[in-house]
A and B are shown apart, each in its own frame.
Chain A
Amino acid sequence: KAGVTQTPRYLIKTRGQQVTLSCSPISGHRSVSWYQQTPGQGLQFLFEYFSETQRNKGNFPGRFSGRQFSNSRSEMNVSTLELGDSALYLCASSLAGTSQETQYFGPGTRLLVL
């Protein structure tokens, strides 16, 4: 079974631009979560989608948004990019997102904002 895939793997943008990242979960998985990883803040939860609905959101500004499609694929969007948005963005999927389930992570998208 294929793992979680994320595209693109690397991205360079300039301040003020916007960016869209894509995540395809493991087949059959309906819950998709997004995390931001930076050297200073570590791994932080962004949001979680299940059945095309945002079920949970971390403490990030409204510039960070996402959506999920009927095939469970998810995208996250960051508008008006800031230098501090440079990070590794990780997507994780699980069957239904319940507390006992394991989340499986993709390789991440590394975003550099100049």
Chain B
Amino acid sequence: AQSVAQPEDQVNVAEGNPLTVKCTYSVSGNPYLFWYVQYPNRGLQFLLKYITGDNLVKGSYGFEAEFNKSQTSFHLKKPSALVSDSALYFCAVRDWDNYGQNFVFGPGTRLSVLP
């Protein structure tokens, strides 16, 4: 079965500094990986995804993620954090056990960007 780990419950970073939110995965077959962000009392917003090709994926709001097959990681990064980036971030992988039609989500990482 597919699984996703986000080893940090909370990440604190100062505004203007680079940020990294970590994600590792375990899948059988090709990994299709996604990052979503959730603001308070809101649904999930899509940030970016890795399907195939270039290991560095660029997404919305200046975020990017690096796919590393040997380390089975898909860390989310941003060169310069904004206070408005403070939110809950979820890494997700397609669940091949269910024919790829649903996500398995990580537990989420709460990002706090301090002014």
| B42 CB contacts on chain A under 8 angstroms | 107-108
Q: Is the CB of A33 within 8 A of B102?
A: yes
Task: Give residues in B with beta carbon < 8 Å to A.
Answer: 32, 34, 36, 41-46, 49, 51, 90, 94-96, 98-108
| A50 CB contacts on chain B under 8 angstroms | 101
User: A42-B108, A99-B94, A105-B36 are known contacts. Are A90 and B43 too (CB-CB below 8 A)?
Assistant: yes
Residue in A48, A55, A102, A106 whose CB lies within 8 Å of B43: A106
Bound-complex Cα distance A35 to B105 (A): 10
Bound-complex Cα distance A105 to B94 (A): 15
Bound-complex Cα distance A106 to B45 (A): 9
Q: Is the CB of A43 within 8 A of B43?
A: no
Residue in A6, A45, A108 whose CB lies within 8 Å of B102: A45
Within 8 A of B (CB), among A12-53: 31, 33, 35, 42-43, 45, 48, 50
Within 8 A of B (CB), among A73-104: 90, 92, 97-100, 102-104
| Nearest A residue to B32, CB-CB | A99
Asked if A8 is at the interface of the complex by the 8 Å CB criterion, the answer is: no
Q: Is the CB of B101 within 8 A of A33?
A: yes
Q: Is the CB of B49 within 8 A of A55?
A: no
| Nearest B residue to A100, CB-CB | B51
22 pairs, CB–CB < 8 Å, chain A vs chain B: A4-B43, A6-B43, A35-B103, A42-B106, A43-B105, A43-B108, A45-B95, A45-B98, A45-B104, A48-B101, A56-B102, A58-B102, A98-B101, A99-B94, A99-B101, A100-B51, A102-B34, A105-B36, A105-B43, A106-B43, A107-B42, A110-B41
| Nearest B residue to A10, CB-CB | B41
Q: Is the CB of B44 within 8 A of A90?
A: yes
Q: Is the CB of B100 within 8 A of A98?
A: yes
| A33 CB contacts on chain B under 8 angstroms | 101-103
User: A99-B32, A102-B34 are known contacts. Are A56 and B101 too (CB-CB below 8 A)?
Assistant: yes
| B95 CB contacts on chain A under 8 angstroms | 45
Q: Is the CB of A100 within 8 A of B32?
A: yes
| Nearest B residue to A6, CB-CB | B43
| Nearest B residue to A96, CB-CB | B101
Q: Is the CB of B45 within 8 A of A105?
A: yes
